[in-house]
Amino acid sequence: MELQSSYPPLFRGLRDSAPAADLDEGSWMTKPIHEPDPIPVIDLQRLDVEPERLGEACREWGIFRVVNHGVPLDLLTGVRSHAGRLFSLPFESKQALLAAPLSYFWGTPILTPSGSALQGGAQSVNWVEGLNVPLGQLSLLGDGGDDDDDEVTVLASLRNVLQEYGVHLGRIAKLLFRAMAEDLRLDPTLSKSYLSESTGFVRLYRYPHCSKAGGNMSGMEAHSDSSVLSILCQDEVGGLELYKDEQWIQVQPVPDALIVNVGDMLQAMSDDEYISVKHRVKVRKPQDRTSVCYFVFPGQDSVIRSLKYRPFTYSDFQAQVQQDVKTLGFKVGLRRFKID
């Protein structure tokens, strides 16, 4: 299968319009590759022994690595491999196969229709394509069709691996949130509904290499996640960056480690003690990047109560974000609910 046919048409044109960028180590990295980044590391098997490490990471960074998480390494590599197989399908096939409640998107954030940013030219496009998969509706991925069809087989295989992956990620999210709720001394009657495993979904991303980008294309613009927690499994290509102390820090890939972000919902629950970290993805290496992110949210009717924000549900927050994106072109986020 020809790789170019799998890219959305816009990406094909720009990939072919210039020779591949000469990306030596110094042109795409701010640090030597052997120098570790300072992202905190949380050992999931030592949460009860060193609970203060988790709270410190959430207050100072809003992001951390999780090790000893119990997810088999072959499952981590397998879920990325299956995502790669999905994205390698012809673009037109993906458009036809990936229907509601799944959401296939490219070029823009998931909140805006695919292609809407194209009016502003290539520089306003996110160099990404993705698939949004609600874990509660996984049975619809690859359901129906001819079992002998290679494309249906790819979707069915992805469904099977995501079922196992979702169980592990739900377990990790619950363990982390329980420790966070204790650290923050949240009201137990409230915190029970502050994280609902039934809301979990997985978003698969592919960031195609763009030769015209000169090694510095925006795969995803700077943003914070709207979730309670986001848990990322990234490949070895890299490109994730976080904003701290008025500078961007590259988050280097570490085998067998997961990256956890504090989301907007958790920042509100914590009365701004925890940080919903601003992050982005830059396309720098001359190869595609694949990542898989798990997001989890409060229960549908759970009202978030905070000393810093007026009471709101996640549905209230989501509706406001969508309205702001539609009218302003960007997410305002928690500031809309801040108590003056």
Q: pLDDT tens across 123-178, in order? A: 467 889 999 999 998 887 766 555 557 788 898 899 999 999 999 999 999 999 99
Report the Cα–Cα distance between both ends of the chain, in Å, rounded. 57
Quote the domain boundaries for residue 102.
Answer: 3-307
Q: Give the span between the Cα atoms of 147 and 150, in whole angstroms.
A: 8
Spell 211-221 as b/e; 16+ CB within 10 A means b. bebebebbbbe
Count of CB atoms situated within 10 Å of the CB of 156: 15
Contact 97, 251 (CB under 8 A): no
Query: Is residue 255 assigned to a domain?
Result: yes
List of E strands, 163-257:
196-207, 217-223, 229-234, 240-244, 247-250
Query: Is residue 315 assigned to a domain?
Result: no
Query: Is residue 74 assigned to a domain?
Result: yes
Bridge partner residues of 281 (DSSP): 220, 240
- Tell me whether strands 41-43 and 63-67 are parallel, antiparallel or unpaired: parallel
Say if residue 240's pLDDT is above 70.
yes
Bridge partner residues of 138 (DSSP): none
Query: Is residue 321 assigned to a domain?
Result: no
Those residues whose C-beta lies under 8 Å from the C-beta of residue 266, and which sit 6 or more positions away, are 58, 180, 227, 228, 229, 274, 276
List pLDDT tens digits, range 214-223: 556 788 889 9
Task: Report the mean per-residue pLDDT for the chain.
Answer: 85
CA 58 to each of CA 17, 128, 200, 203: distance values in angstroms, whole numbers, following the listed order? 43, 28, 21, 23
List pLDDT tens digits, range 72-100: 999 999 999 999 999 999 998 888 888 77
Rg (CA), the chain: 20
Query: Is residue 301 assigned to a domain?
Result: yes
- Tell me whether strands 217-223 and 196-207 are parallel, antiparallel or unpaired: unpaired
Number of domains in the chain: 1
Average pLDDT over residues 69-73: 96
pLDDT band at 31 (very low <50, low <70, confident <90, very high): very low
Q: Give the span between the Cα atoms of 85 and 160, in whole angstroms.
A: 14
Query: Is residue 322 assigned to a domain?
Result: no
pTM, two decimal places: 0.89
Q: What is the pLDDT of residue 3?
A: 61
Query: Is residue 45 assigned to a domain?
Result: yes
Say if residue 249's pLDDT is above 50.
yes
Q: What is the pLDDT of residue 294?
A: 98
Query: Is residue 319 assigned to a domain?
Result: no
Which CATH number fits the domain that encloses residue 266?
2.60.120.330
Q: Give the span between the Cα atoms of 4 and 313, in whole angstroms.
A: 43
Say if residue 224's pLDDT is above 90.
yes
Residue 280 has phi, psi (to 5 degrees) of: -155, 175
Q: What is the pLDDT of residue 217?
A: 73
